[in-house]
Amino acid sequence: MKKLIFHILCISILLTLPSCGKTESEHKIKDKSSKVITALSNASENGMLYFDENTCNFYDYASDITIPLCFKPNCTHSDQNCISKAITGSVNSAGNCFIFNDCIYYFSVNESIEGEGRDTTYQIQSTLHQWNLQSGEKTDVLEIPDLNCTSSVNMVFHDDTIYFIGCYGAHQFEDGTWMNAGYGKQYLCSVDLKDCSFENYGQVNDNVNASNNVIITENSINAVADQVTIAGVYHDTIYLYYNYVEDKNIIINAMDQGDNQTIDWNYEVKEFHLNSREMCISREQPPICLSNNWYVTENSSDKTITAKDQTGNTIEFSSKNDLPFDSYQYSIYNNKIWDLYNGVVYDLSTKEIYSVSENFLGANVTDYIAKENKYVVCSYDASGKLIYQKFDESSLIA
Amino acid sequence: MKKFQKAVAGFLAVVSMVTCVAGMRSSAAYYPTITKNFIVGNSTATAVAYRDSSHATASTKLSGGRCDVKLKYCGKTASYSNYINATPTAMINGSRGTASTEHRASKGSFSNSTSLVV
């Protein structure tokens, strides 16, 4: 009998061992396997992360309420000991942080100039911080030398790895003064969050004319739109793009005339294959929005939107958009292209175009909750504060 | 009376020394940062200007919009313009005088600007 009890105890202990660490089902925030993180959309399976002026928030889809992003037991969320408040001193946008296994991660950068006069060097180092949302423990998990990792325009989270842009844009004048010269050389990088290993896949904006976006004079630096943008993931490939001019005088003339928003840019698109982890120049036009199944471009001259699926089949719509290419308001959810700025929805299944209810003009669709068949919409209240709410499709479409 | 005057003088001297030390301490640790929100249509943009003993920085942020920033410091100018969905941050190193900044943000047909001095 004693032997039997002993064996039962041993088996019980063995069965309990794997749950010593928290399993995915125990996490309060359920990570998506793949997603694009932008300033307005940092979604998990069960909610949306976003910042208001003083607090980092989590909009919980199931309960339809917003709570401070802090799961410390007995925390009153009222002072700087609360993670949701303390983190806003370091991060102020949902596009600059990410959550993995109930920890929030973000980069900080330390820049310093060593030496005197002309004999100085510009030192830059980024640090990846990890903040455990349940224990409140903060850890610096990785140091990345020679790159500023805080300026990435969007990030991709895929298979427990975060992909982002690291940049180096410092320039030294003859008198020794250092200045930032735009975003400078920009590299696609990743951190595997399972073991915090860092990879740099090479410079993205390596076109010979890419430096034309930065005009350096005797005592000034003027950089115009030299950032690399991570557009998203299509067909297991990350798409990135940047713009440049072949002649620097185009930028100089535009600046002299005070109009740098109508420059006729050239675009270069790069694709990074997530399976082979190789980056190359793409033949595609720069996308206005992406999903894993659809690559969507806009032709502003004949005002059409073209959506291409993974098999190469295309659907073309007449565009209602009057803004230039970089009209950031498009998103794809539930096989529909949402353009709430212009109040239009392009249905990729029926090829119909619908109007959006006037209540949602100027808002953004930022996620789709499949099991509830509801859309998460980001808008601003009367005081300019960000709010997230979920709506049925019938509420959105007029 | 003289004893009282001496005591008062001593007290004032101590107070002035403490004030001086406190003043020195506060000026040594004081790095001005200004954060200003400004409305762009129905959104809020944020302008930040910062200066310390080695450099000045300025940035403009507007989620889902375009941003410009210009920083003037120590006779130099750094400007970023037409940054989409990005938070351009200009930096100039130096340790003389004040820094002035200009910030512009736009979204769709709405545009607004502000300027700061740190």
Q: Could you state, in order of their start, the residue ranges of all structural domains in chain B? A: 1-30, 31-117
B35 touching chain A per CB within 8 A:
no
Whether the pLDDT of residue A306 is over 80: the answer is: yes
Nearest to B82 among A224, A329, A385 (CB): A224
Nearest to A113 among B80, B87, B93 (CB): B93
Which residues 6+ apart lie within 8 Å of A334 measured at CB?
A368, A370, A373, A375, A393
Which residues 6+ apart lie within 8 Å of A4 measured at CB?
none
Q: Are A223 and B79 in contact (CB under 8 A)?
A: yes
DSSP A108-167: EEEEEEEEETTEEEEEEEEEEEEEETTT--EEEEEEEET-B-S--BSEEEETTEEEEEEE
pLDDT at A116: 72
Give the residue with greater pLDDT, A1 vs A70. A70
The predicted model gives B45-64 an average pLDDT of: 90
Q: Are B49 and B56 in contact (CB under 8 A)?
A: yes
How distant is the alpha carbon of residue A200 from its chain centre? 18
The predicted model gives A345-352 an average pLDDT of: 95
Q: Which residue of A has its CA nearest to B94?
A: A177
Nearest to B79 among A40, A222, A385 (CB): A222
Encoded tokens for B26: 């506060």
Has residue A21 been placed in a domain?
no
pLDDT at B1: 47
pLDDT at A21: 42
Of the pLDDT bands very low, low, confident and very high (cuts 50, 70, 90), residue A326 is: low
Contact yes or no for B89 and A180 at CB 8 A: yes
Of the pLDDT bands very low, low, confident and very high (cuts 50, 70, 90), residue B17 is: very low
pLDDT winner (highest mean) among A198-202, A363-367, A376-380, B16-20:
A198-202
φ, ψ at A213 (rounded to 5°): -70, -10
Has residue A168 been placed in a domain?
yes
The CATH number for B31-117, chosen from 1.10.287, 2.60.40, 3.90.930, 2.60.120, is 2.60.40
Whether the pLDDT of residue B14 is over 90: the answer is: no
How many contacts, defined by CB atoms under 8 Å, are there between A and B? Answer: 112
Domain of A149?
A: 27-226
Q: How far away is chain B from the Cα of A73, in angstroms, using its nearest Cα? A: 32
Closest CA to B46 of B104, B97, B4, B2: B104
Quote the percentage of chain B above a pLDDT of 70: 75
Has residue A316 been placed in a domain?
no
- Average pLDDT of chain A is 88
pLDDT at A3: 55
DSSP B18-70: HHHHHHHHHHHH---EEEEEEEETTEEEEEEEEE-SSEEEEEEE-TTSEEEEE
Q: How far away is chain B from the Cα of A182, in angstroms, using its nearest Cα? A: 6
Mapped onto helix, strand or coil, the DSSP state of residue A8 is helix
Q: How far away is chain B from the Cα of A10, in angstroms, using its nearest Cα? A: 56
Whether the pLDDT of residue B3 is over 70: the answer is: no
Alpha helices in chain A (DSSP H): 2-16, 83-86, 248-256, 393-396
Chain B CB contacts of A179 below 8 Å = 76, 78, 90-93
Q: How far away is chain B from the Cα of A143, in angstroms, using its nearest Cα? A: 21
Quote the percentage of chain A above a pLDDT of 90: 64
Has residue A206 been placed in a domain?
yes
Q: How far away is chain B from the Cα of A390, in angstroms, using its nearest Cα? A: 20
Give the residue with greater pLDDT, B4 vs B103. B103
The predicted model gives B46-70 an average pLDDT of: 91
Closest CA to A215 of A249, A186, A185, A262: A249
Q: Which residue of A has its CA nearest to B75?
A: A219
Say how far apart CA A170 and CA A167 lie, in whole Å: 10
Each residue of A154-187: pLDDT tens digit? 999 999 999 999 999 999 988 888 998 889 999 9
B79 touching chain A per CB within 8 A:
yes
Whether the pLDDT of residue A19 is over 60: the answer is: no
Exposed (0-12), middle (13-18) or buried (19+): which is B7, by Cβ within 10 Å?
A: exposed
CA distances from B51 to A7, A98, A175, B91, B118 (A): 68, 29, 20, 10, 6
Chain B CB contacts of A385 below 8 Å = 44
Task: Show which of residues 88-107 on chain B sit within 8 Å of chain A, judged by CB atoms.
Answer: 88-94
Has residue A299 been placed in a domain?
no
Nearest to B76 among A220, A224, A386 (CB): A220
Nearest 5 degrees, angle CA A286-CA A270-CA A366?
55
Chain B CB contacts of A93 below 8 Å = 61, 63, 87
Whether the pLDDT of residue A98 is over 90: the answer is: yes
Contact yes or no for B76 and A328 at CB 8 A: no
- Average pLDDT of chain B is 79
Q: How far away is chain B from the Cα of A382, in angstroms, using its nearest Cα? A: 7
Interface mutation vs chain A, best among B69, B70, B87, most A CBs within 10 Å:
B87
Of A21-35, A104-118, A255-269, the poorest mean pLDDT is in: A21-35
Has residue A190 been placed in a domain?
yes
Q: How far away is chain B from the Cα of A38, in angstroms, using its nearest Cα? A: 8
Whether the pLDDT of residue A88 is over 70: the answer is: yes
The predicted model gives A316-320 an average pLDDT of: 85
Contact yes or no for B81 and A53 at CB 8 A: no
Whether the pLDDT of residue A18 is over 80: the answer is: no
Chain A CB contacts of B54 below 8 Å = 112-113
Q: What is the predicted ipTM?
A: 0.79
Each residue of A199-243: pLDDT tens digit? 999 999 999 999 999 999 989 999 999 999 999 999 999 999 999
Q: Are B71 and B97 in contact (CB under 8 A)?
A: no
The predicted model gives B95-110 an average pLDDT of: 90
How distant is the alpha carbon of residue A11 from its chain centre? 46
Of the pLDDT bands very low, low, confident and very high (cuts 50, 70, 90), residue B6 is: low
Contact yes or no for A219 and B75 at CB 8 A: yes
Has residue A354 been placed in a domain?
no
Has residue A12 been placed in a domain?
no
Contact yes or no for A180 and B87 at CB 8 A: no
Query: Alpha-carbon torsion A116, A122, A123, A128, what sign?
Result: positive
pLDDT at A257: 82
Q: How far away is chain A from the Cα of B27, in angstroms, using its nearest Cα? A: 21
Chain B CB contacts of A232 below 8 Å = none
Stretch (H or E) spanning A107: strand A103-116
How distant is the alpha carbon of residue A100 from its chain centre? 15
Chain A CB contacts of B61 below 8 Å = 92-93
Q: How many domains does chain A have?
A: 1
pLDDT at B19: 40
DSSP A237-253: EEEEEEEE-S-HHHHHH
Whose tokens are 């590299």? That residue is A187
Give the residue with greater pLDDT, B42 vs B83. B83
Each residue of A236-295: pLDDT tens digit? 999 999 999 999 999 998 888 877 767 889 999 999 999 999 999 999 999 999 999 999
